[in-house]
Amino acid sequence: MQSGIMKINENTLLEGHRVLLVPYNADHVPRYHEWMKSPELQQLTASEPLTLEQEYDMQRSWREDDDKCTFIILDKQRWLDTGVEEEELCMVGDVNIFLTDPTDTTLAELEIMIAEPSYRGKGIGKEVTRMMMCYGVTKLGVKKFQVKIGLDNEVSIAMFKKLNFQEVSVCKVFKEVTLEMTVDESVRTRLLDDVADMKERDYRQTCSNRQQLVS
């Protein structure tokens, strides 16, 4: 994975059945900042609270760094109903791919956060994870995915196991479990089948002409 390829999504919109994945931009930061004031989300994401200014710095880092690929998750129907000028109101969470090993750019750590409680337990996390994995495999050249989840986050652990991730280690010190999936040809085929209806669009063009999205 050559330098700069992680910025490949800076104008990419991925359309799924119930969600849209869009680049994390400055307009999303205030809502994201409000999310991360939650002690629950801080614990689930192993994050420290940041000031709004620090959150803007983090957003720029995620957009500009070569080792990160981040999308904001939007409620597709609400986005269609309200319009792009209120995109912040449609935010559900975020999903990230990180390159954690400079010597192996085919290994990626995957993170997903459904920040809005009313959207949890509805299969959205599974849809988003499949979309992001497909994007990672086809656009970024990822061949192995890794997730690190807090031991008390039983819902996320169960979801990734249902997606055929295998538990590889448990760290008692950090109270987290690591699961992995190697992308062989059968996994690649299954991923492509699972998200066969996913559409990739030009983000800026779609925002100016959202009628092209089928509700």
For 208, how many CA atoms within 13 A lie in the half-sphere containing its CB?
4
E strand spans, 86-136:
91-98, 107-114
| Both tokens assigned to 148 | 């690190």
| 56 vs 96, more confident | 96
Q: Which architecture characterizes domain 12-195 according to CATH?
A: 3-Layer(aba) Sandwich (3.40)
Residue 23 pLDDT grade (very low, low, confident, very high; cuts 50, 70, 90): very high
Tell which residue, 178, 181, 168, has the closest CA to residue 142.
Answer: 181
Is 61 in contact with 24 (CB distance < 8 Å)? no
Pairwise CA distance, residues 79 & 66, whole Å: 29
Token pair belonging to 129: 């994870």
User: What tens digit of pLDDT does each residue of 28-80 get?
Assistant: 988 888 887 878 777 767 677 778 888 888 888 777 777 888 999 999 999 98
Residue 99: pLDDT over 80: yes
Task: Give the pTM.
Answer: 0.89
